[in-house]
Amino acid sequence: MFESAPFFSLEGQTAIVTGGATGLGLGITRCIVGAGGKAIVIARSEGDVAALNELGDHAAFYRFDITDTDHSQEIVDQIISDHGNISILVNNAGIHRKKPIEEMTVEDFNAVLNVHLVGAFSLTKAVIPHMKANKKGSVLFQASMTSFIGQPFVAGYSTAKAGYLGLMRTLAAECGAFGVRVNAIAPGWIDTPMFHQATDTDPARMQKILGRIPMNTIGDPMDIGLAAVFLCSDAARYINGVCLPVDGGALIGL
pLDDT digits (tens, 9 = 90+) for 148-195: 998 888 899 999 999 999 999 999 999 999 999 999 999 999 998 878
pLDDT value, residue 2 = 53
pLDDT value, residue 152 = 87
Output the CA angle 39-135-67, nearest 5 degrees: 50
1 band by pLDDT with thresholds 50, 70 and 90: very low
Rounded distance, CA 111 to CA 159, Å?
12
pTM for the full predicted model: 0.93
- The whole-chain average pLDDT of the chain stands at 93
The CATH code of domain 14-252 reads 3.40.50.720
Rounded distance, CA 58 to CA 34, Å?
9
Which tens digit of pLDDT belongs to each residue from 27-40?
A: 999 999 999 999 99
Give the chain's radius of gyration (CA, Å).
18
Active-site choice (62, 157, 164, 238): 157
Which tens digit of pLDDT belongs to each residue from 101-142?
A: 999 999 999 999 999 999 999 999 999 999 999 999 999 999
Residue 5 pLDDT > 70, yes or no?
A: no
Rounded distance, CA 103 to CA 116, Å?
21
164 tagged catalytic: no
Closest CA to 139 of 178, 197, 98: 178
DSSP class of residue 57?
Answer: G
Residue 45 pLDDT > 90, yes or no?
A: no
Closest CA to 55 of 17, 16, 90, 21: 21
The residue extents of the domains of the chain are 14-252
